[in-house]
Structure formats: structure tokens, C-alpha cells
Amino acid sequence: MKTLFFFFLWSSVALADAPFPGPSELAMEVNKVRAAHGLYELTQVEPLICAANRHAKDLAQTLDCSHEGSDGSTWQSRAKDCGTRVKAEILACGYGQAVNVIKRWMNDKMSKAILLDDDAQAMGTAKVDDVWILLIK
């Protein structure tokens, strides 16, 4: 019998700045639309992914599509709980594929402005069932 052990060293500074190892489908679509508008790509960072995942799991369980969590949390409080700050959250439920989510967001004035924010520094994405979350820092 073989046993596999994993050892993790945590550093709050390293974690806050560490990029997520590999883009999600949504992150790739976000960067495609940003590139098409002459904007730089955004890198996913773990604290934003943490906050996005927390909310996506909650929404998928409650079958609600709201910025407020079932526990009363906000996108700002979820980001703070994961060790970061956040500028904006966009969400979508029931669109099937990331490309459809992006089309929907690009047809909404506020969501489009967030996607194309030229001051954005990083992002975090999550998908649980058909709940899609994008956080921008």
C-alpha cells in the first residue's frame, strides 16, 4: 500500500499575489473579449477564486441568482474572508457555456463596463453547475 503525502507551505504575501495555475473557460473568454478591445489580459488569483467559488457553490445549492449570499454575505465580505479586496462582481445563471455568459454580459451596460475596466488588476472566476461568477480586483 502506497501513501501519498502533500506538504503545503503557506505565506499570506505569496498567496495574495500567486496566480491561479491555469485559466478556466470563463477566464479565457474574459481575456478574449478584453484583447478584442485592446486591453491587457487579467490573471486569476487564488483569493478571488476563493470568493467566487464560495458564492457559486452557495447559489448552486440555493437555486438563487443573487449577489447576496444565503448567509447575508456580500461580494466584498466574501473577498475579505478570502484575504483580498474586490472591485466588482458579475454573475450569470443558466447560460450553459462561458461564451454565452460573455455575450450576455457584453449586452448589459454595467457588466460590459466591468469586463472592459482598464484599471482592473486581476480576476477570479468560478462555475458550479450553471452558476458563473467573475470577480474583478
Map 111-131 to HEC letters. HHHHHCCCCCCCEEEEEECCE
Instruction: Decide if 126 contacts 56 (C-beta within 8 A).
Output: yes
pLDDT at residue 63, as a whole number: 87
- Model confidence over 107-131: pLDDT tens digits? 999 999 999 999 999 999 999 999 9
The 10 Å Cβ neighbour count of residue 29 is 23
- DSSP state at residue 18: P
Q: Taking the CB of residue 40, how many other CB atoms lie within 10 A of it? A: 10
For the chain, residues with pLDDT lower than 70 are 1-23
Helix axes 25-36, 98-106, angle to 10 degrees: 40
- State pTM to two decimals: 0.82
CA distance 39 to 118: 7
What is the distance between the alpha carbons of residues 48 and 30, in angstroms, rounded to a whole number?
15
How far apart, in whole angstroms, are the C-alpha atoms of residue 134 and residue 18? Answer: 18
Give the pLDDT confidence score for residue 23 in this predicted structure. 53
Q: Identity (one letter) of the amino acid at 29?
A: E
Question: Which residues does 133 contact at the CB level (< 8 Å), separation at least 6?
Answer: 52, 53, 55, 56, 59, 89, 90, 91, 124, 125, 126, 127
3-class DSSP state of 114: helix
